[in-house]
Homo-oligomer: A and B are copies of this chain.
Amino acid sequence: MSQVPTKVGILLFPGFEPLDVFGPVEAFHTISKQLAKINLVWIGPSLDPVSTAPKEIHTTTMGSTVDTRVVPTHTYDNPPEDLEVLLVPGGLGPRVPTSDAAVAFVKKTYPKLKYLITVCNGAEIAARAGVLDGKRATTNKFGWKASIATGPKVNWVRYDRYVADGNCWTSGGVSAGIDAILAWMVHVYGREVAREVANEMEYEWRDDKTWDPFAYMFSGDA
């Protein structure tokens, strides 16, 4: 493995949340053009397209249908040998039975990784895999209570937008993943590069992990 990681995998499972994935993926796309080498792979249960709608929940109470389907490049059984970074999104998916396979994949894969990054309640997948035990971590603030119940041995940090402990980076809900990935890019590539990525994305980056109004907004979910 190189000093600076290049092989980045996105973990897909039925019911993943779109922006949990595509906020960070946009940052990887942007940095990949002229600032850093990134080889992005998509890891699903099989090579079939993976839907944002979990199999168990086809519609909403409103009669909505909002499937998004993304095509994996690799499977849980055959991931790239040289995977260095794994990004785990949240959504409804971590709370349905099909997520067991994703949990097993994280458990199996984590020891080989340079970095594990979770967004939103993707932390539930990592917590259930046991890889956050004894570590400081965060998760979505809208739905805090249900998320942290999955990791009784995790030192949950409620009032930060994202948390880094060792090689585990965990983020608050949905959009917080963009701030988390930019902070991770500061760590790996330096602040100047991360700032260039944020600007090209025309993203108002809060370069401060303690900035999280949503943690206070949703603090009633005790």
Name A's B-contacting residues (CB within 8 A): 17-19, 21-23, 25-26, 28-29, 32-40, 42, 49, 52, 60-71, 73, 140-142, 172-176, 178, 199-204, 206, 213-214, 217
* B residues in contact with A214, CB < 8 Å: 199, 202
A105 to B116 Cα, complex, angstroms? 41
* B residues in contact with A18, CB < 8 Å: 22, 25-26, 29
Q: Are A67 and B40 in contact (CB under 8 A)?
A: yes
* B residues in contact with A174, CB < 8 Å: 26, 200-203
* B residues in contact with A204, CB < 8 Å: 175, 204, 206, 213
* B residues in contact with A32, CB < 8 Å: 60, 62, 64, 66
27 example contacts (A-B, Cβ-Cβ < 8 A) are as follows A17-B26, A18-B25, A18-B26, A19-B22, A19-B23, A19-B26, A21-B22, A22-B23, A22-B26, A22-B68, A25-B66, A29-B52, A33-B61, A37-B63, A38-B65, A39-B66, A40-B64, A40-B67, A70-B70, A140-B202, A141-B202, A142-B200, A173-B202, A174-B201, A175-B202, A175-B203, A176-B202
Number of copies of chain A assembled together: 2
A63 to B35 Cα, complex, angstroms? 11
Q: Are B17 and A64 in contact (CB under 8 A)?
A: no
Q: Are B38 and A66 in contact (CB under 8 A)?
A: yes
Rank and list the top 5 A-B pairs by shortest CB-CB distance, nearest first. A22-B22, A32-B64, A19-B26, A173-B202, A69-B71
* B residues in contact with A63, CB < 8 Å: 37
* B residues in contact with A206, CB < 8 Å: 204
- A-B contact sample (7 more), CB < 8 A, given A49-B49, A142-B202: A18-B26, A34-B60, A35-B62, A39-B64, A142-B199, A174-B201, A199-B217
